[in-house]
């Protein structure tokens, strides 16, 4: 099937790595959910831009003017990629910083409604406000039901949810959630770190007010991310300093408007240019085509994993068709770290292991007893380092092939027979 042909060249796709037996094998990258490789076209854009790189916004020299134009054009490209031509784009380092920027800008004592399945980046920053948590749910319909009930019961200012789980891959029903939020006077924020590389996003059509994403998960790992807001962002900035102000006196400050207010200090111009180049390249590939190709690979991955004796694939919503290319699992007889190391050392397969910055969700999925969870917490507070329960995660992207999927499932099948 032509849909399974890799649609873009990624730097390092033919890398050979040493294995424990002394032989070199082609590296099978199944860790896209953590950081993606670099698109060749992104690298070409960066190489062409670097000679022109300079400070931005207040320089009169030719290089400064060209850099400023490229930096500001990058905002338009990112907004266009997300279907949000009316949005303000604040460049940051990553999704984590974007969430912190928004959390700081919210009015003091704002009420935030979120869920226990979020990445820590979309959980911890909201705790400076009045954070309300929804319960775990077993389906998208149940999520919509409990969200509706929570919004009806009290005033909520912001609903903060993931776009796709970085642990189990479920794509969330963002448009219905946005409709619910708006119907009850709330705004909606979406952590799109795992959604943006895999699915087309149309913020305006879906009614999304704020969204965060990372370049390093979008084939442009040059240290840039963005907070994209379709409603005014006027609160306090996370960082205080030059570039974020209109005027400073000895006892007062007049902040600049967004996005400048939230970009204190010298910005990551090259990162923004790379980020925009990745968005351009993905648009040229066509996000619908990217999604179709991934669905075929994902179906093969899930079918292969489900056929391995002793392997348990983790799912938040077991009956849910729409998932990005992420699969987390455990294999009977192996601890997560040991299994990941065996895959690397013996088969040159790169996966992720641990809790994936989602401790409450992993605790739930692995059915960790409450007594064990409390013991782990006490041990950590005492300065000891107990081994945390965890899983292995395989994640796919633009460079993934059928051969990569089969290499993983074949290796896991072999290992399952050895235990």
State the residue for tokens 């930096």. 71
What are the residue ranges of helices labelled H in 263-383? 269-285, 287-306, 336-347, 359-365, 370-381
Closest CA to 255 of 263, 244, 264: 244
**Contact 327/166 with Cβ under 8 angstroms?**
no
Query: What does the CA dihedral 342, 345, 347, 352 come to, rounded to 10 degrees?
Result: 60
Examine the residue annotation and report whether 298 is marked as an active-site residue of this protein: no
Exactly one of 279, 298, 355, 357 is catalytic; name it: 357
Closest CA to 329 of 168, 185, 205: 168
**Contact 232/261 with Cβ under 8 angstroms?**
no
Q: Could you tell me the two tokens for 87?
A: 């949005």
What are the residue ranges of helices labelled H in 7-61? 40-49
What are the residue ranges of helices labelled H in 126-247? 140-153, 174-183, 203-206
Beta strand pairing call for 130-133 and 111-114:
parallel
Please state, as a whole number, how many other Cβ atoms lie within 10 Å of the Cβ of residue 145. 13
SS3 42: helix
Peptide bond into 259 cis (omega under 30): yes
Residue 288 backbone phi and psi in degrees, to 5 = -65, -40
Residue 375 backbone phi and psi in degrees, to 5 = -65, -45
Active site residues: 357
């Amino acid at each position: 099937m032509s849909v399974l042909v890799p649609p873009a060249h990624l730097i390092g796709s033919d890398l050979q790595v040493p294995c424990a037996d002394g032989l070199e094998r082609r590296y099978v990258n199944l860790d896209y959910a953590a950081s993606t490789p670099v698109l060749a076209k992104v690298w070409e854009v960066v190489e062409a831009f670097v000679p022109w790189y300079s400070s931005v916004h207040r320089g009169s020299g030719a290089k400064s003017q060209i850099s400023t134009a490229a930096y500001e054009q990058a905002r338009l490209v990112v907004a266009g990629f997300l279907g949000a031509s009316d949005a303000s784009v604040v460049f940051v380092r990553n999704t984590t910083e974007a969430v912190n920027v928004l959390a700081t800008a919210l009015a003091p004592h704002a009420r935030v409604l979120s869920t226990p399945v979020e990445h820590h980046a979309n959980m911890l920053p909201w705790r400076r406000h009045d954070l309300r948590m929804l319960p775990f749910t077993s389906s998208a319909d149940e999520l919509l039901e409990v969200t509706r009930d929570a919004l009806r019961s009290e005033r909520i200012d912001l609903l903060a949810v993931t776009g796709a789980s970085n642990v189990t891959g479920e794509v969330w029903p963002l448009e219905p959630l946005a409709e619910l939020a708006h119907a009850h006077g709330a705004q909606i924020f979406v952590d799109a770190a795992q959604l943006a590389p895999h699915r087309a996003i149309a913020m305006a059509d879906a009614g999304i007010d704020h969204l965060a994403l990372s370049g390093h998960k979008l084939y442009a790992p040059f240290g840039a991310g963005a907070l994209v807001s379709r409603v005014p962002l006027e609160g306090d900035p996370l960082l205080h300093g030059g570039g974020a102000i209109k005027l400073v006196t000895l006892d007062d400050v007049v902040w600049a408007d967004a996005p400048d207010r939230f970009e204190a200090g010298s910005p990551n111009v090259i990162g923004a240019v790379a980020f925009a180049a990745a968005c351009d390249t993905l648009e040229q590939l066509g996000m619908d085509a990217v999604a179709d190709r991934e669905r075929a690979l994902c179906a093969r991955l899930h079918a292969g994993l489900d056929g391995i004796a002793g392997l348990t694939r983790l799912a938040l919503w077991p009956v849910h068709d729409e998932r990005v290319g992420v699969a987390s699992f455990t294999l009977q007889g192996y601890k997560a770290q040991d299994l990941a190391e065996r895959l690397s050392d013996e088969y040159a397969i790169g996966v992720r292991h641990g809790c994936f910055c989602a401790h409450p969700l992993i605790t739930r999925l692995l059915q960790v007893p409450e007594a064990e969870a409390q013991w782990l917490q006490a041990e950590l507070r005492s300065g000891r380092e107990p081994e945390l329960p965890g899983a292995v995660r395989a994640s796919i992207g633009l460079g993934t092939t059928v051969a990569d999927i089969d290499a993983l499932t074949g290796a896991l099948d072999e290992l399952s027979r050895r235990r």
